[in-house]
Chain A
Amino acid sequence: MIKNMMSNRGIGKYERIFMIVSAVFVIGALFYMYVSSSPKTISPISGQTIFNPDFVFEIENGEELVISTSLDFTSPIILNEGSETDLPPGTYYWKVRNWLRESEVGSFTIESSVGLNLRKGNEKDLLENSGNVPVDVTKKKGGITTQIPVDVGKSLEVEKDNSSYEGRQNG
């Protein structure tokens, strides 16, 4: 029928082929765009356990990242590309969405990690909290014990001596 219509309107063989190819291309392109524009959660992969103090959410084709402590996403945390947040240890569910669709739901667990770095300096040393939870540091020197709280990502100058430092999760 289409062929007849085209013939009646004086459309030649090459024009007809061109039109069919164009139509196939347009439909294929629209289908590809629909499939490829689906938002995806890339990293952390679902079920991953993280103990680093800083990590990156990697997403594809997403406008917003939605995080919640519950699978039904009640009281979600909404983040945009480039934004930063602090997440305490626990299990989280997350998904990505754009104007059209949402990704599948992934989950990840932030495991508490206690870390201490003692960097040697010329005049003083630097004690860093390299974990992802605030720590209480017990400093022992010559029978004297002192407690020093060090928040996540923070550091403090300490005397250069033979003290021992013991870090434990506070609270």
Chain B
Amino acid sequence: MDKMIKDKSNFGNRNNPYLFPSNSHPDFDSDNHKLAKVRMLAHPRSIDKDNLNANYGINLKIVLVLISLLAITFLQISQTSAIGITPGRTTINFEPDLAQEVQFSIVNTEHKDMNVVFYVQGELNGSVGFVQLSAKLSASEESKSFSYSVSLPHKFDKPGLYSADIVALEMPEDLEKQGTYVGARVAVVSQLHVYVPYPNKYLDGELSVISDDSGKIMFLSSVYNRGKLDIVNAKTVIDIYTPLNEKVATIESDSIPVKSLERKEIVSEWQPGVNSGRYLASVSIIYDNEIFSITKEFSVGEALLEIQDLYVKDFSLGEIAKFNALVENKWGNSIPDSFLNILVFNNEGEIMADFKSPNYDLKPLSKTEMVAFWDTGGVFQGNYEGKVLLKYGEKSVERNINLKISESNIEISGITGKVLVRGKRSSVNINNLLVIAIVVLILFNAVWFLVVRRYMKKKK
């Protein structure tokens, strides 16, 4: 909460690094002492040649050590760590001696063979037990379900939140053969939150901001009564501030009751009549003469910077490819020192190419073409995943992309990072044909009645 208040006070400040970042993009640090050390030890020239023939036993050990180090080096270089877990959080209201099974799933985000080790940490670690402590996922498994048991004590001394972290740590697929692992590791946590009810009225909440096609902003305030007493009236008052700390709107919701240990949602709508940009919502949830506050930044209108197009022209595999990106600055101010960073991943998910454009000053309310070059020497034809990052200050716009590389073409398609609406209209074409057929029939009948009959009458 302190952080939230601090963020709010800093919101309108032009020195706010979130809004007006001053420093330029970080340069890559090419130092990598650990990897260099491993490579040096693994290098054959580090073996003392004088002793090489003298002691075969030692020599054998050295060779084994070298093989191990090479394997470790290989692991360090080749492993891409990726793991997901769902749900991110499970919330339980405390009941004395509660025993419960909780389901969770490991998500194989990169669709690869992997080993996962489970462990628990946090104040409730004694209350959590696993059915299995490790698991294997094959590349074909998108996700796999597991469970842990929760056994709560008869009583907690204080009301409030008690938690445990269910940690899933990804281990190398061939760890059993190696016996050891050196390298960065990735773990994900599914949190277990147990709330012991407060004896009085106690409200907790969180805020989500959603916008729709009409530009309408929805403030979704989820409120939880963590107390033993019912809350008779709870309502939200949302004040909206510009980056310069000017209040532009206040939205007040209707009051609703929230029973003990109940969760409810209060939805407030706002049709903004303000310029596009970042704003701050300061939400006061007023309940029976108490106040709970939340603040959250959100965007009004379209993104300030948008990568509208990314394409490669006149390409030949093995040559230098010129990537052109059309970037629109929808903001009223110039954005200096912006650059494009394009990453291309190989089939193992590693970064096989990382190239950047020069820095550009993006003029206000205008489009700029940014150019980045990639030397495709040694690159094979095929489909590759990648990422485009448009970096400005400490912020970035990111898009996942697919690159279909052929001998003379790089076809780039974007993947949305959001929920997308796609329509299916297969039957519409049939309907159109039917409409045409009906119109033709009606015309045909009309002609038949008017012309042919008149002709037949005349003939008679």
Contact = CB atoms under 8 A, between A and B. Distances in A.
B77 A117 contact: no
A58 B25 CA distance: 39
B431 interface: yes
Contacts of B109: 115, 117, 130
B450 interface: no
Contacts of A77: 210, 212, 216, 218
A153 interface: yes
A114 B210 contact: no
Interface string A116-143: 1111111111100011010100000000
A127 B448 CA distance: 74
A131 B422 CA distance: 22
A164 to B, nearest CB: 4
B58 interface: no
B225 to A, nearest CB: 18
B430 A36 contact: yes
A102 B212 CA distance: 19
Contact of B419 (A30, A33, A84, A116): A84
Contact of A59 (B84, B423, B426, B435): B423
Given A55-B419, A59-B423, A166 B86 contact: no
Interface in A55-109: 55-62, 65, 69-70, 74-75, 77-90
Interface string B442-460: 1001001000010010000
B125 interface: no
Given A51-B107, A115-B83, A117-B81, A82 B421 contact: yes
B320 interface: no
A160 interface: yes
A8 B314 CA distance: 76
Given A10-B456, A79-B213, A59 B421 contact: yes
B206 interface: yes
A148 interface: no
A131 B419 contact: no
Contacts of B220: 69, 88, 90
A85 B218 CA distance: 12
A64 B237 CA distance: 30
Interface of B: 26, 28-30, 32, 34-35, 77-89, 105, 107, 109-110, 143, 165, 167, 182-191, 206, 208, 210-214, 216, 218, 220, 222, 265, 267-269, 343, 345, 349-351, 354, 387, 389, 396, 398, 415-428, 430-431, 434-435, 437-438, 441-442, 445, 448, 453, 456
20 contacts: A25-B437, A26-B442, A33-B435, A36-B431, A51-B84, A54-B420, A56-B419, A70-B267, A75-B218, A111-B87, A113-B87, A116-B83, A118-B80, A118-B82, A124-B29, A133-B88, A153-B417, A157-B28, A159-B29, A166-B167
Interface of A: 9-10, 15, 19, 22, 25-26, 29-30, 32-33, 36-37, 42, 51, 53-62, 65, 69-70, 74-75, 77-90, 111-126, 130-131, 133, 135, 152-155, 157-169, 171
